[in-house]
Amino acid sequence: MINEHVFNNTKFEESEILKIFIGICRGLEVMHNYKHTSNSSASGRLFSEGNDEDEALLARNETAEDDENDENDNLHLPHPATDAGTEAETNNSTEMAETIPFAHHDLKPPNVMLSAEGLSVLVDLGSCSRARIRVRTRQQALTVTDFAQEHCTLPYRAPELMDVETGAYITEATDIWSLGCLLYCTCFGYSPFEKLEIDQGANLNLAISQGKYHIPEDRNGYSKELIDLIRQCLQVKAKNRPTARDLIQRALEISRKLDV
């Protein structure tokens, strides 16, 4: 649809963009807060709608990268603090449940399909794997950089995955960066960094590492609030990026204003 709009010289309605965006965020929210239980037959109920299918996809073993598996055993994957809301839910249950965030790792327009009802569906989960990686050694840094080069499409790849540093702590915020690129692309027809390269022959790696991109003055007619969502996602410091949950709230607020 993005390509058709470029070809037709038309664009998405802001409300369409928000609907697609919120759908993607909901998918990411599930992945980023994936609950692992020791009893898989009972774990479906931890998803608000008992979504067994999502779970089956997410619960797959550490993707197909056999060479990654050895490495993953050495990487320290911390037990993230579960947030208060989900804790109350699991506190009093008999199964052991812990949040193990997964990240899609290759979020880009071709990996979002629209269902017949127009709902966003995240596809191509071949790169989906544990999101949080504490990079302790030079060797681990190289392994993660290789993983990113192989799986995370360059114009959508987060700066912290460009040349992974020893001591880095990679999180699901990498998906939020990609999401910002995807939202930009939905608004303007190109990834923000692709466009810079096409227009100015800029070095893609450098532009991404420095978070250098350009928003057209006229914002293609979109609201400042919508464009602000892009800016919030495309922050070089991963810690400053909002969570999928934050973004759903902000996008819903923008939608509500449109409806008035």
Which residues, 4 to 23, sit near ligand NAG by CB under 6 A? 4-5, 8, 10
Q: Which of 9, 61, 81, 217 binds ligand NAG (CB under 6 A)?
A: 61
Contact range with ligand NAG by CB under 6 A, out of 88-96, 198-206, 219-227, 241-249: 88-96
The least distance separating ligand NAG from the CB of residue 116, rounded to whole angstroms, comes to 16
* Cα–Cα distance for residue pair 219/227, rounded to 1 Å: 7
Closest to ligand NAG by CB, 59 or 141: 59
Choose among 169, 168, 190: nearest CA to 181. 190
Q: Is 88 in the site for ligand NAG (CB under 6 A)?
A: yes
* Cα–Cα distance for residue pair 165/159, rounded to 1 Å: 11
Closest to ligand NAG by CB, 27 or 189: 189
Q: Which of 6, 42, 198, 206 binds ligand NAG (CB under 6 A)?
A: 42
Q: Which residues contact 42 (CB under 8 A, 6 or more apart)?
A: 95
Contact range with ligand NAG by CB under 6 A, out of 1-9, 101-109, 192-200, 240-248: 1-9
In whole angstroms, how far apart are CA 61 and each of 56, 147, 213? 10, 16, 36
Three-state SS sequence of 82-147 = CCHHHHHHHHCCCCCEEECCEECCCCCHHHEEECCCCCEEECCHHHCEECCEECCCHHHHHHHHHH
Q: Which of 73, 79, 84, 91 binds ligand NAG (CB under 6 A)?
A: 91
Summarize as ranges the residues that interact with ligand NAG (CB under 6 A): 1, 4-5, 8, 10, 39, 41-42, 61, 88, 91-92
